[in-house]
Amino acid sequence: MSDPMRPPVSHHHPEPTSLRSGPSRSRASLRTAVVWEVLQEALERRVKATGRESLDVLDTGGGSGNFAVPAARLGHRVTVVDPSPNALFALERRAAEAGVADRVKGVQGDAHGLFDVAERGGYDAVLCHGVLEYVDDPAEGVRNAVAALRPEGVLSLLAAGLGGAVLARALAGHFKEAKQALDDPNGRWGTGDPVPRRFTAEQLTGLVEGAGLRVGAVHGVRVFADLVPGVLVDTEPGALEALLKLEEAAAELSAFHSVATQLHVLGETGGAAETSGAGETGGAVEV
């Protein structure tokens, strides 16, 4: 299809793991814990606001279900739209293994033709993770995601951060590439860069507000995780837990948004913003 959400071979991302999930931790959780925390709490607020225990969730570019399956384990109905048949096959298998096959539906499609396969205005929450980097028109991608929301709904937007890429190239000694990424309109460090586009926090919030949503929160994701030597995290007692807590604390501080590998923006419709409140934290979901 034209305008694919992402290359169909890159769906092997770590499973989201809540920071509340107990003593057992994995290094993979460093990459997704902050996003899952924010998303889970947003879903909990929608449940309380709607009075419905089960929400309708659309996961655009959801791949093999890294977020869709945990959301379904919370009791929600999740539709995953992805251009890759292989990823959707993996999604089906993962949902079955998790016992939520009846609440997860995968359909082949992309951001450009989203409403060929998804219902316009039919979802309480829309996930748009790792999509804007690959679409031809990010603004259109966000507008389509917003158009899929009900009058009271939330958008979870996750995209590659410019600053994190610049910092990573510089620390690796690739100073020319770091400078090129800094100067390039799309934040690319060269022809070998596998990511077509990166964003600043201001650019992402501008896209969300331009589509008519209120920005509820902005978080930096993987501020330190990609920079810390793996051997330190894997061998030093308590290092992983401490790094997870550091990531969570830094994620909310705007000073660290400019160096995060990814940026997460939570957008709310006008109706959702009016009814949202501080909800109590629920139990963790592990897959």
Give the model's pLDDT for residue 28: 62
- pLDDT band at 228; cut points 50, 70, 90: confident
The contacts of residue 74 (CB under 8 Å, 6+ apart) are 40, 43, 282, 285
* Mean pLDDT on 224-252: 85
Give the model's pLDDT for residue 27: 58
Give the model's pLDDT for residue 271: 67
| Burial per residue of 74-88, b for 16 or more beta-carbon CB atoms within 10 angstroms, e otherwise | bebbbbbbbbbeebb
| Structural contact between residues 148 and 58, judged by C-beta atoms closer than 8 angstroms | yes
**In the numeric block, which tokens belong to residue 13?**
């991302």
Convert the pLDDT of each residue in 24-75 to its tens digit.
345 566 678 889 999 999 999 999 999 999 999 999 999 889 999 999 999 9
Mean predicted lDDT score pLDDT of the chain:
85
Q: How far apart are CA 105 and CA 158, in angstroms?
A: 21
| In 53-116, alpha helices (H) | 68-73, 85-98
Give the model's pLDDT for residue 237: 85
Reply yes or no on whether the pLDDT at 251 is more than 70.
yes
Q: How far apart are CA 141 and CA 159, in angstroms?
A: 12
Q: How far apart are CA 76 and CA 43, in angstroms?
A: 9
Give the model's pLDDT for residue 5: 46
Convert the pLDDT of each residue in 105-139 to its tens digit.
999 998 888 999 999 999 999 999 999 999 999 99
Convert the pLDDT of each residue in 263-285 to its tens digit.
999 999 986 656 554 444 333 33
